[in-house]
Amino acid sequence: MEYRNLGRSGLKVSTLCLGTMTFGEANEGSFMHGVGCTNETSFAIMDRALEAGINFFDSADVYGQDGLSERVIGDWFEDRGHRDDVVLATKFRFRMGEGPNGGGASRLHIVRAVEESLRRLKTDRIDLYQIHMQDIDTPEEETLRALDDLVRAGKVLYLGASNYAAYRLVDSLWTSKSASLERFVSLQAQYSLLVRDLEREHVPLCDRFGLGILPWSPLAGGFLSGKYRQGQEPPAGSRMEMWKQRYKGFDKPRNWRILAALEAVAEEIESTPARVALAWLLQRPTVSSVIFGARSTEQLEDNLQAAELKLDPAIVTRLDEAAELELGYPYEFMKHVQGRW
């Protein structure tokens, strides 16, 4: 397993990060109902991931139901005693309680959220605390000052952003610098061969300011795993069978072309589409670690091999071309004039 610095921080994380959204069996009414795994399976996945060299686990207070994912991880820490072996990341921002302050990025909600996450995770600190999405109703300085206080109190060690617009992320970094506050060291965002929008603004931004990118949904909800076929219903038991509207969103000619190219490369180098898709991301600029999920140890084993897969530059170019991003204005204009944007 390779380890990289998280952005320009001194924190070392494995190039594969274990996403824990599927941990625990959520009750009916949760968006994760029917797509999670048992506590026993979750424990086995974490055991094997740690054994394989993955030292980076990512969660969020809203994963599962009533903090289910965090509670499963906390029980595993209590049972196994591996807290100091893991770089623990979690997120806050979305609604976790009743009333007008049950969500958001206000100081009030942040203080409540971190204490509840620490309790569920059964730990005295969160190594990477991330705001799950920007909050346009709260001034960025209020959010950053509250997070800065948590770092100074030792409850949080590093800060990260997720699902931020580029303009807001630059504003946040400037606010941190001008007010001498702790700044974000990472950006967790959707990024895959199918979803490359990040390359317009966020990738250059993160490269310029030293943020490590943490792609989520690197297999596009499992679409890039190779189990789906054009014109056919999702396989029984697959995540897309439960999330049929999302599957319809992927059912586009461009996406099937990308999948065909991915499968051709995988066959050519005797690998799997999932491994190749993960390896492609690991070779993108500013990517520190790729977040992947697993509902079984078998899925985990297949994805683990992506950490050792190095794609030839010619293959990367083939995949880049198959998944070419329509830049739009003004990026196409700048690229036409000067060859890049």
pLDDT tops 90 at residue 340 = no
pLDDT tens digits for 54-79? 999 999 999 988 899 999 999 999 99
**Per-residue DSSP letter, 90:** E
User: Which residue spans within the chain are E strands per DSSP?
Assistant: 3-5, 12-14, 16-19, 56-58, 87-92, 126-131, 156-162, 184-190, 212-216, 290-293
| Cα–Cα dist 227/294, whole Å | 15
pLDDT tens digits for 73-101? 999 999 999 999 999 999 999 999 899 99
Where does the pLDDT of residue 221 fall: very low under 50, low under 70, confident under 90, or very high at 90 and above?
Answer: confident
Catalytic one among 3, 63, 164, 329? Answer: 63
Return the pLDDT at 274.
95
| Cα–Cα dist 192/250, whole Å | 13
pLDDT tens digits for 192-206? 999 999 999 999 999
Where does the pLDDT of residue 259 fall: very low under 50, low under 70, confident under 90, or very high at 90 and above?
Answer: very high
pLDDT tops 80 at residue 3 = yes
pLDDT tops 60 at residue 241 = no
Q: What percent of the chain has pLDDT over 70?
A: 93
Q: Reading across the β-sheet that carries 156-162, which strands appear in turn?
A: 212-216, 184-190, 156-162, 126-131, 87-92, 56-58, 16-19, 290-293
User: For residue 173, what are its two tokens?
Assistant: 């970094």
pLDDT tops 70 at residue 36 = yes
Output the DSSP codes for 147-177.
Answer: HHHHHHTTSEEEEEEES--HHHHHHHHHHHH
Residue with tokens 């670690």: 289
pLDDT tops 90 at residue 236 = no
CA dihedral 193, 211, 16, 195 (to 10 degrees): -20
| Mean pLDDT, all residues of the chain | 93
Task: Please answer whether residues 170 and 143 qualify as being in contact, where contact means their C-beta atoms are separated by less than 8 angstroms.
Answer: no
pLDDT (mean) for 34-60: 95
Return the pLDDT at 1.
95
How is domain 3-338 classified at the architecture level of CATH?
Alpha-Beta Barrel (3.20)
Annotated catalytic residue 331: no
Please tell me whether residue 186 adopts helix, strand or coil conformation.
strand
| Cα–Cα dist 36/215, whole Å | 21
pLDDT (mean) for 166-173: 98
pLDDT tops 60 at residue 334 = yes
